[in-house]
Structure formats: structure tokens, C-alpha cells
Amino acid sequence: MAGFGRLAMAGRLAATARASAAAAGLEVSIHSHPLGLHGHGAGSAIGSRDNPQDNQRGDERGAFPIRAKTTWSIELTSYSAVPEWSRQRVGFRAGADACFDRDAVRFPYGRRTELFLIPVRP
């Protein structure tokens, strides 16, 4: 994961990820929060779901370093016009937990590589 490194700044990491997505032609919203014993742990937030404008330009909560030995919930929304829905813009959400151990980012439950489709019942 490009940009993740010792004392990487959360906001810069989010900006790097968004720039990579834009270069690939994707429209995305990325945010993250540290995980702790109570769900949302203490530490730097990366982006904000509550305020999408801040999520896209970065907010002051991302001005802190990402520290080693921390675990994060990384949440992504990718937007696309769906032809079957009159090209309505739809957000497709995915999330994964990741651990940063100073040397690498690891996904304790594996990294999501495919969509889980829910069949329509007649």
C-alpha cells in the first residue's frame, strides 16, 4: 500500500489513495478509523463519512501520524453510473481491516478481491 510507512500522515495517505483511484478512472470516497477494544479506537482518522467534502479534500483529523502496531478499518465507496438503473449514480461500499506493524500493512482477514452478489428472489 503506497504511502503507508513509519509516521506517515493520515491525511497524506488518504490523498495518495484518492489520487491513485482517480488516475485509474475511479470516483471514490475513502475513509478510515483506528480499531480498538470498543470499535472505533483512539488515533488519527483518515477522511470523514460525516462530511464528504472533508473526506475528499482532507480534514484536520488526518494531520496526525499513523503509528506502528495499530489496526484500522479501511472503508471505500466507489461510485458508478448503473446502466440498468437509468445510469443512476450508485455507491458501492467495501471495507477491510488492516494492521500496520511498522514494516508492512497486513490484512488479518484477507484482502477483498471480489464482489459478493446477493441474488434477487422472485
Element (H, E) at 23: helix 10-23
Tell me if 118 is assigned to some domain. Answer: no
Number of domains in the chain: 1
Residue 115 pLDDT? 76
CA distances from 105 to 2, 57, 84 (A): 10, 24, 37
pTM: 0.69
State what percent of residues in the chain have pLDDT above 90: 16
State the chain's mean pLDDT as an integer: 77
Tell me if 117 is assigned to some domain. Answer: no
| Cα Rg, the chain, nearest whole Å | 16
Tell me if 54 is assigned to some domain. Answer: yes
The per-residue pLDDT for range 57-76, each reduced to its tens digit, is 545 666 667 777 888 888 88
Q: Which domain holds residue 48?
A: 10-106
Least Cα distance to 74 among 3, 122, 23 occurs for 3
Least Cα distance to 56 among 25, 92, 17 occurs for 17
DSSP state of 65: B
